[in-house]
Amino acid sequence: MGTKRLLAFASALAVAAPLSLAHASEIRVGFTLDADTLDPANHRKRETETIIRNMYDGILTRDGDMKVVPELAESWTQVSPTVYEFKLRKGVKFHDGSDMTAEDVKFTLDRITVEGAMEGQTSPRKSLLGPVTGVEIVDADTIRINLGEPWPILPAMLPFQEVVSKAFVEKVGTDGMATQVNGTGPFKLVDWRKGDSIIMERFEDYYGGATDIPPVGKACVDRVIFKVIPENASRVAALLAGDVDIVNELPAHSIAQVKNNAATDVMTVNGTRSFFIALNNESEIFEDVRVRRAAMHAIDKKLIIDKILAGNAAPISGILSPDAFGHNKDLPDYGYDPDKAKALLAEAGYPNGVDVELDTEGAFKDIAEAVGSLLTKVGIRTKVVVGEGSQLSSKWRTKGEPKTGDMFFTSWGNGSLDPFDIFVPTHRTADRGNSAGYANPELDRILDEAGVELDQAKREALYNQAEAIVNADLPYLYLWVPQDVYGVSKRLSGWKPSADSRINLHDACVN
């Protein structure tokens, strides 16, 4: 074999080598899901964003305490209620060596917000940028984002949008962006083995990242691998065997095992995903608030949190996480009270109980069955029906369509910890995530007013009022916000989990 062929063979073998053969300074993540795409503008899934965010940076980002800080921008100012100005960092390069410019940033935001900007397709992330009407370049280092109305949470939503290269997108097209990466992030793509792994290597010309999140500089490790391991048992086994350094969604029943293992530990962070049960407010059964309240009194949240979630969740009495802006700390709690539940059910005209179905995804079957058992005990005889995610979304979240089910065990993420991107979609009349079919004109008015209110104290008071309304109406059975639980190798340092579920590996090292 000639020298060139031998070198080529060795190079190919290095990429294709088994993941158990550790690279010289490599972090391996046992991850629940593969990416849907590698195009930052063409998805709506947290797991996809977690992978992408290690290769792409945003105008802004969040630090470990969820504070919004500049990243590709050096700073930003609010010029007026509807105009934000961003000063861009100099010397930022894309993975192909080209310089990032204001034109790239404008192109990125236009691609997300302009109808049909992705070769006729509109970005599924468009709604995440609310009333953005356009982006203008002020000078080589400055852009302005214009809004159609005041929208105080624009900075909180920008960390979810990653900057792409205009020239690269125009070269490879929308289809090419799905599998190719040219970002400004700390790692660049080596190989995507769909369904198996995504392999990245350190970007040597990285500008260093957000100055507010030390240390600033190149990534600590040479290589990162996201190994796709959907099965809980397999993911835990890989961690215990030393084949991976981080696993997400560590199941509650494995926490003690991971803690007791000499080489591994458990890390937790308050999550940002609220879990709840949508009650079909359009149905004869659940249009009566007494039945909804009976169902709430039937559920022993503390029991489920302690026994099934291993204590790793915070109960909620409204839609918002206890850590969210605008969370009402004084909401009445519907305590576990089976006798009161039965009395309310009888008062509503169901002294002999009622039969219902509870839809859920397979991943939550055990929890849904525990909830169903508690409901059944008070006379709300519940049959758990497991469905596939997209089918359930079509059934329960098709905008403007009447609901056909009884109950739906589900959740909604709130990575910004601002009420706008969880309260509005799930509770505003006929909005995209309003699985309950709930309609309350007074609540709509308050949510609309809060969405444009610039005075933070007034805005907080409006959301407090909104939570009080839904706590009384109970269109949903508000359950809990789980902690995100990770298993980690003790050889890992410089990393901690983030409440927005990101696994940011820029500063992570291995011993």
pLDDT at 99 over 50: yes
Name beta bridge partners: 121: 118
pLDDT of residue 411: 95
For the stretch 364-423, pLDDT in tens is 899 999 999 999 999 999 999 999 888 898 899 988 788 989 999 999 999 889 999 999
pLDDT of residue 400: 75
> What is the identity of the amino acid at 283?
S
- In angstroms, the CA 75 to CA 57 distance is 15
Please return the burial class of 352, using the count of CB atoms within 10 Å of its CB with bins 0-12, 13-18 and 19+: exposed
For the stretch 445-499, pLDDT in tens is 999 999 999 999 999 999 999 999 999 999 999 999 999 999 999 999 999 999 8
Q: At CA 266, angle to CA 265 and CA 267, rounded to 5?
A: 125
pLDDT at 266 over 50: yes
Residues 168 and 298 in one domain: no
Return the half-sphere exposure (C-beta side, CA atoms, 13 A cut-off) of residue 35: 29
CATH code, domain with 279: 3.10.105.10
* Phi/psi at 276 (5° precision): -160, 170
Task: For the beta carbon of residue 348, count every other beta carbon within 10 angstroms.
Answer: 17
Residues 200 and 277 in one domain: no
Sorted by sequence, the CB contacts under 8 Å of residue 335 that are 6+ apart come out as 297
Contact (Cβ atoms closer than 8 angstroms) between residue 207 and residue 93 = yes
Q: Is residue 268 part of a domain?
A: no
Alpha-carbon separation of residue 82 from 89, 149, 457 (angstroms) = 23, 6, 19
pLDDT of residue 303: 97
pLDDT of residue 363: 80
| Residue showing tokens 């060795």 | 10
Q: Is residue 5 part of a domain?
A: no
Sorted by sequence, the CB contacts under 8 Å of residue 14 that are 6+ apart come out as none
Taking the alpha carbons of 282, 286, 290, 294 in that order, is the dihedral positive or negative?
Answer: negative
For 185-249, the three-class secondary structure string (H helix, E strand, C coil) is CCEEEEEEECCCEEEEEECCCCCCCCCCCCCCCCCCCCEEEEEECCCHHHHHHHHHCCCCCEECC
pLDDT at 267 over 80: yes
Residues 322 and 404 in one domain: yes
pLDDT at 501 over 90: no
Residues 307 and 224 in one domain: no
Q: Is residue 8 part of a domain?
A: no
Contact (Cβ atoms closer than 8 angstroms) between residue 274 and residue 445 = no
How much is the average pLDDT of 73-96? 97
pLDDT at 260 over 80: yes
pLDDT of residue 402: 87
pLDDT at 23 over 80: no
Residues 431 and 498 in one domain: no
Residues 319 and 235 in one domain: no
Q: Is residue 162 part of a domain?
A: yes
Could you tell me the pLDDT band of residue 270, with boundaries at 50, 70 and 90?
confident
How much is the average pLDDT of 331-358? 98
Residues 241 and 281 in one domain: no
CATH code, domain with 94: 3.40.190.10
- In angstroms, the CA 273 to CA 106 distance is 31
Question: Encoding tokens for residue 13?
Answer: 């073998």
- In angstroms, the CA 160 to CA 40 distance is 9
Q: Where is pLDDT greater, at 400 or 46?
A: 46
How much is the average pLDDT of 431-455? 96
Residues 364 and 498 in one domain: no
Please return the burial class of 433, using the count of CB atoms within 10 Å of its CB with bins 0-12, 13-18 and 19+: buried
Pairing of strands 60-62, 313-315: unpaired
pLDDT of residue 390: 81
Percent share of the chain, pLDDT over 90: 87
pLDDT of residue 32: 92
pLDDT of residue 65: 84
> What is the identity of the amino acid at 58?
G
Residue count of the chain, please give it.
511
Residues 150 and 190 in one domain: yes
Q: Give the number of domains in the chain.
A: 2
Percent share of the chain, pLDDT over 70: 95
- In angstroms, the CA 230 to CA 297 distance is 35
pLDDT at 242 over 90: yes
Pairing of strands 246-247, 476-489: antiparallel
pLDDT of residue 64: 84
Q: Is residue 374 part of a domain?
A: yes
Residues 496 and 456 in one domain: no
How much is the average pLDDT of 61-68? 90
Q: Is residue 10 part of a domain?
A: no
Q: Is residue 1 part of a domain?
A: no
pLDDT of residue 90: 96
Residues 246 and 288 in one domain: no
pLDDT at 268 over 90: yes
For the stretch 166-222, pLDDT in tens is 999 999 999 999 999 999 999 999 999 999 999 999 999 999 999 999 999 999 999
| Nearest of 454, 488, 473 to residue 149 by alpha carbon | 454
| Nearest of 274, 279, 232, 210 to residue 62 by alpha carbon | 210
| Nearest of 19, 164, 12 to residue 94 by alpha carbon | 164
Could you tell me the pLDDT band of residue 362, with boundaries at 50, 70 and 90?
confident
Task: For the full predicted model, state whether its pTM sits above 0.75.
Answer: yes
pLDDT at 3 over 70: no
> What is the identity of the amino acid at 342?
K
**What's the domain range around 380?**
273-483
Alpha-carbon separation of residue 274 from 216, 242, 302, 473, 478 (angstroms) = 33, 32, 16, 18, 8
Mean pLDDT of the chain: 93
Q: Is residue 4 part of a domain?
A: no
pLDDT of residue 21: 42
pLDDT at 105 over 80: yes
Largest CA distance in the chain: 87
The DSSP secondary structure of 465-488, one letter per residue, reads: HHHHHHHHH-SEEEEEEEEEEEEE
Residues 238 and 298 in one domain: no
For the stretch 137-166, pLDDT in tens is 999 999 999 999 999 999 999 999 999 999
pLDDT at 11 over 70: no
pLDDT at 22 over 70: no
pLDDT of residue 237: 98
